[in-house]
Amino acid sequence: MLIGAHVSTAGGLDKTVGRGVERECDAIQIFHQSPRMWRPTNYTDRDFAGFRTALAASPIESVVIHAVYLVNCASKERDTRSKSIASLSHALRVGDAIGAGGVVLHAGARKGEPHGASMRRAAKAIARALASSEECPVLLENTAGTQGPLGRNFDELADLIDLLDGDRRVGVCIDCCHLLASGYEIRDPEALSAVVDELDAKVGLRRLRCLHVNDSKIPLGGNRDHHANLGEGELGDRGLATFLSEPRFAELPALIETPGPDGHGPDLAEVKTAKRLRKRGIAARKRRGRRSKRTASRR
Ligand SMILES: [Zn+2]
Ligand SMILES: [Zn+2]
């Protein structure tokens, strides 16, 4: 598992690599433009080359981009939709230029509009952004919330993939905070295993390219998206240790996007916490395995 964090792009793309290295990240996630403005950042070929050189010289093995939260591909407003397509296209082209593993996207928010039409609008907009870029995958993230976010469960993610004709460039990103808030119990290995089975059956694990590792201020099924620092929420150390040690997640980048100790995002201590919790989860699974073997041999 490539454990890492979302890092700031302040000061330029190549600065992100240093922030990842300082935090001992094996993977990083970045925004492709300022998250508060529609205006895309105009990167030059030199910016991209600088980033790739810095990344190649670092221990960081994977980078993913997160589309900015202004993007709403499902919007009924033509203006919002065309800005969303432009922003997502930009993210995918930056992804192509820096060799990103994907662009993570919240597929869209209904905001009171009918579900079916919103899904179709979102898929059409995503397809247009894919058509205006080369290779970089779009990774639909599972969501939680009350503004009618699309992708709140695996059926909706699967429906979106169908609406995109199963395009091979469409993958998914699974966020454990959103899973819990949307009603998926994932805090013990058996429960999580059943959830991963469901994901495999409905979406296919080959489409799973990335994980988000956040604790949740919101309880199981509370249906809101509110990240807590690792160990300080409803998942807690035990739930996070379970999620991070799921065997079928072992090869994936796992990115922390918590508020961090001072509200400026995850720090080195939090990356270390995630790595420690993964080890703890693996050890607990081994102990359980030995226990159940002993019980079986006694029978
Ligand atoms: Zn996330
Ligand atoms: Zn979230």
Tokens of 66: 């997160």
- The list of the chain residues with pLDDT below 70 reads 299
Ligand nearest to the CA of 182: 2
Please, are residues 174 and 186 in contact by the beta-carbon 8 Å criterion? no
Ligand nearest to the CA of 141: 1
Look at the chain and report how many structural domains it folds into: 1
Q: Full-prediction pTM beyond 0.95? A: yes
Residue 269 belongs to domain spanning: 2-298
Model pLDDT for residues 181-196, shown as the tens digit of each residue = 999 999 999 999 999 9
Tell me the CA–centroid distance for residue 144 and ligand 1, in Å.
10
DSSP state of 249: G
Ligand nearest to the CA of 259: 2
Tokens of 177: 């905070």
Ligand nearest to the CA of 105: 1
Ligand nearest to the CA of 104: 1
Tell me the CA–centroid distance for residue 128 and ligand 1, in Å.
23
Tell me the CA–centroid distance for residue 225 and ligand 2, in Å.
5
The label of the residue with tokens 């604790």 reads: 215
> In angstroms, rounded to a whole number, what is the distance separating the alpha carbons of residues 228 and 216?
5
Tell me the CA–centroid distance for residue 169 and ligand 1, in Å.
19
Comparing C-alpha atoms, which of 62, 59, 69, 57 is closest to residue 33? 69
Bridging pattern class, strands 253-256 and 27-31: unpaired
Distance from the first to the final alpha carbon of the chain: 36
Ligand 1 (ion): residues with CB under 5 Å are 175, 212
Burial 38-65 (b: 16+ CB within 10 A, else e): eebeebeeebbebbbebbeeeebebbbb
Ligand nearest to the CA of 174: 1
Q: What's the pLDDT score for residue 96?
A: 98
Tell me the CA–centroid distance for residue 276 and ligand 2, in Å.
22
Bridging pattern class, strands 215-216 and 227-228: antiparallel
Ligand nearest to the CA of 144: 2
Q: Which helix (H) or strand (E) holds 17?
A: helix 13-22
| CATH number of 49's domain | 3.20.20.150
Q: Cα angle at 285 between 282 and 289, to 5 degrees?
A: 140
Tell me the CA–centroid distance for residue 87 and ligand 2, in Å.
20
